[in-house]
Amino acid sequence: MRISQLFGKTLREDPADADTSSHRLLIKAGFINQLVSGVYSYLPLALRSLKKIETIIREEMNLAGAQEILLPTLQPEEIWKRSGRSVAFGETLFKLKDRRDRDLVLGPTHEEVITELVKGHIRSYRDLPVNLYQIQTKLRDEARPRAGLIRVREFAMKDAYSFHSTQEDLDKTYDGMVSAYQSIFSRCGLDVRAVDADSGAIGGKDSQEFILLTDTGEDEIVLCGSCDYAANMEKAQSNIERVIDDTKGGLKEVYTPGIKTIDALSKEFHVPQTKILKSVAYVADGALVLVMIRGDLDVNETKLVNYLGAQNIHIATDVELREEGLIPGFISPLGLEGVRVVGDHSVVSEVDVIVGANREDYHYTGARHGFDFTIAESIDLNRVQEGHECVECGGKLTINKGVEVGHVFKLGTKFSETFGATFLDSDGTEKPMVMGCYGIGVGRILGAAVESNHDDKGIVFPKAISPAQVIIVALNTDDATVDAAANLLYETLIGQGIEVIIDDRDESPGVKFADADLIGIPFRATISARSIKNGNTVEIKNRMDGNDQLIHLPLDDVGKIIEAVT
RNA sequence: CGGGGUGUAGCGCAGUGGGAGCGCGCCUGUUUUGGGAACAGGAGGUCGCGAGUUCGACCCUCGCCACCCCGACCA
């Protein structure tokens, strides 16, 4: 690969519309080009990285016993209606019609298609298990594409689907996929953490996300500082410190004009927020639900949705509250009738608390659970906060940002039952296949890798996914000796199977060095009039080191040069 | 979908009711060559699109579109 002929130029100035590091650098270094929102062209350097990532994925998937296939992008909407996911995906599903006015969708994922496929090919438990994967373009009309390759509408994804006769057999394959994923990410040179995840509306018991920790990530991850507990915020649990307090004031109604927030109550009464009961009203599938939670905590809406089994929830508007006779800012479970009340387990306490009075401008003080009010349904509904105690070991939890680069699910029989993907078991009975699914975002790995591997000069590629191992920077290209030496090294390294780029442009040294740093190839080999004069040498620099860390090697010792750049 | 912002040369940006500009990049030539060289000459525009106001609109008004950011959303 000669930079003089390379399609795709580096930019000298930062692109205006990119403010996350990976987005900015991938455009600036000439890797990607946006066509419309969330849709990119991949130029030669990017494609090289993507192919490397794909190769690593293929090798590990094959090793784990999965077989590669390729499924259609264009799919009949009918199968999406059958699975109920035409509605579930909603606007995210790209829809179109063919010339016969038939409804089609562009596949955002392939559970429906694969289940139909396998249904037609597997009849007996003897044919199971199978694990099929593909690397395919997926299309999702995301509400808001963002951050370059991190969240796009058209993207390459590796997805695998496994089919089993028993749950235990699924468990085995699932574990195998988890360890294959760990190999994939570690071979890519990325520090990816597996975390427990909520399995959402798709159902199924186990689910793990694979997260690359980076500050610009859009997912929140809870990690324990003392053990290996790791969970997605939606799923994370914690032990909440109990509040100990002996004061028993007795229930009193107090005039609190205009004091509607936990913060204001805390200041007014000079009490910690832990001694105030927060009332949060939701509308879940059309019905009002009051959620009670300790004042210092927030509601985890995913936990609430899962507990209620609701399709949709939203925080009740003031209008919706007044319709039910509730007074915004002064809501209370005391004396409330006809409204379902659920509580986070933090409300079950021995402590006197302040709570609304269901009356404009009044609160109660000295309210006690079990005496003045009782919340029958109390379960874990709170959002973990920084510093909470780990449920596994009692250590301190931290909240971290990250990018989801992989996700594995135990699907169970949801799809096989819907599509009639059954098999004849050894006992002669017909059973639905037990399924698992396993996804990895290929482009997203590239984006996330750059996000977590760069400095102020540019990208710093992990070796395994870099477009090349070494970039030869030839200075003084009009000097025939330099030119010949650089080209000889280029050809020799290619002959030895080293992936090498040569910057053979007639540019000033500053431009070449800056571009080499920007593109982020792990090793730079500089050949110049100076290095030739200096004992016919080449200067090797590791991209991760500072500029003064140079190794001088004789040009005729190719073995040493290869050793230095691999 | 709610809120905010931007749209002028390949990229980054300035601009005024009456001549469409600057920096970088690009082309030609000369001189340069170890951290984004210098000089000289040059090419490149539907000022997002459409209506309106005006003698005259890149500029004012209205409508539309696109893109970015925050939020909602993210099987």
Instruction: Give domain status of residue A226, yes or no.
Output: yes
Whether A438 CB is under 7 Å from strand B: no
Q: Which ranges in A42-131 belong to alpha helices (H)?
A: 44-63, 77-83, 85-89, 111-121
Domain of residue A475 covers 468-565
Asked if residue A344 has pLDDT above 90, the reply is no
CATH number of the domain residue A484 falls in = 3.40.50.800
Can you tell me which residue has its alpha carbon closest to the C1' of nucleotide B37? Answer: A508
Instruction: Give domain status of residue A31, yes or no.
Output: no
Total number of domains in chain A:
3
Pair (A228, A260) in one structural domain: no
Task: Name the percent of chain A in helix, strand, coil, to the closest 5.
Answer: 30, 30, 40
Asked if residue A268 has pLDDT above 80, the reply is no
Pair (A160, A300) in one structural domain: no
Whether A35 CB is under 7 Å from strand B: no
Instruction: Give the model's pLDDT for residue A88.
Output: 81
The interface predicted TM-score (ipTM) is 0.90
Pair (A200, A291) in one structural domain: no
Instruction: Give domain status of residue A120, yes or no.
Output: yes
Instruction: Give the model's pLDDT for residue A171.
Output: 93
Instruction: Give domain status of residue A76, yes or no.
Output: no
DSSP string computed for A391-441: TTT--BEEEEEEEEEEEEEEEETHHHHHHT-EEE-TTS-EEEPEEEEEEEE
Whether A539 CB is under 7 Å from strand B: yes
As a rounded value in angstroms, the CA-to-C1' distance for A37 and B67 is 7
Question: Which of A199, A251, A240 shows the shortest CA–CA distance to A437?
Answer: A199
Q: What angle do CA A340, A342, A346 make, to 5 degrees?
A: 160
Pair (A118, A206) in one structural domain: yes
Determine the Cα–Cα distance for residues A251 and A243; give it in Å rounded to an integer: 19
- How confident is residue A201, by pLDDT bands cut at 50, 70 and 90? low
Instruction: Give the model's pLDDT for residue A518.
Output: 94
3-state secondary structure of A171: helix
Pair (A420, A478) in one structural domain: no
Instruction: Give the model's pLDDT for residue A374.
Output: 74
Whether A277 CB is under 7 Å from strand B: no
- How confident is residue A335, by pLDDT bands cut at 50, 70 and 90? confident
Least confident stretch, A24-33, A175-184, A349-358: A349-358
